[in-house]
Amino acid sequence: MVMFAKTGVFTLNKVRGIIDIMLDEGINVSAEEREVEYYKEIRETHKLPTDCDFSQDAYSDYIDEYELDIINETCDCDQILIGFIKDPNTGLYEEDPKAEFSCICGELYGFVTASKYTCLAAKGSPCIPYQVDLESNGNERAFTLPEDIWGEDKPGFMQIEKMDCQNKTSLCLKFGACMDTDLDD
């Protein structure tokens, strides 16, 4: 039988290795949203055409670089994506199949939505099915961060397994998200 991993949830401040990755490699979607709102405000204030491109020199007089820097600064409440790419057709973010893992980082928690690594941990809150608490021991298979990112912060019970799905279906190939098992559900 094939068993799929669930989203693994962890407390951000308990995994020091993720912070540098968030700041160096993460996509700050909250800052992107603030920037879009800033551009909309400029358009409305200066009655510019809605199809104008703010990278053009003609509109540079309207863009305050200092304000733009503040808009793009990361703050605690921002949503940061790691291991995601933007679909050029839809403009939406999706998990990068080439990434080692994909994680959504919020103000307090990180959500590992796909990974080449899994572990067993405890079921999360009944209010949020299909999520697993990576900080608690249990029997639910979940996506997790690689060993080197957990570092010394890895819970003592956690046994991280790297998935090898070379001969699996395309769904399994995406992130090594499934594994063969003899367990009965």
In a shared domain, residues 91 and 145: yes
Residue 154: what residue type? K
pLDDT at 127: 81
Q: Is residue 171 part of a domain?
A: yes
Q: Is residue 77 part of a domain?
A: no
Q: What are phi and psi of 121, to 5 degrees?
A: -155, -175
**Which tops the pLDDT comparison, 102 or 3?**
102
Q: What is the chain's mean pLDDT, rounded? A: 77
Query: Is the pLDDT assigned to residue 29 strictly greater than 60?
Result: yes
In a shared domain, residues 21 and 89: yes
**Could you say which of 10, 38, 72 is where a domain stops?**
72
Query: Is the pLDDT assigned to residue 122 strictly greater than 90?
Result: yes
In a shared domain, residues 36 and 22: no
pLDDT at 171: 36
In a shared domain, residues 101 and 146: yes
**Could you say which of 41, 72, 103 is where a domain stops?**
72
Q: How confident is the model at residue 71 (pLDDT cuts 50, 70, 90)?
A: low
In a shared domain, residues 55 and 145: no
Domain that holds residue 20: 2-26+83-180
pTM of the entire structure? Answer: 0.73
Q: Count up the domains in the chain and report the number.
A: 2
Q: Is residue 119 part of a domain?
A: yes
In a shared domain, residues 9 and 95: yes
Q: Is residue 58 part of a domain?
A: yes
In a shared domain, residues 90 and 36: no
In a shared domain, residues 39 and 12: no
pLDDT at 2: 44
* 73 CB-contact burial (10 Å; exposed 0-12 / middle 13-18 / buried 19+): exposed
What mean pLDDT do residues 101-127 have? 91
Degrees, nearest 5: CA angle 12-103-4: 115
Q: Is residue 120 part of a domain?
A: yes
In a shared domain, residues 15 and 50: no
In a shared domain, residues 91 and 135: yes
What mean pLDDT do residues 69-85 have? 73
Terminal C-alpha separation, the chain? 9
How many residues does the structure list for the chain? 185
What mean pLDDT do residues 63-73 have? 58
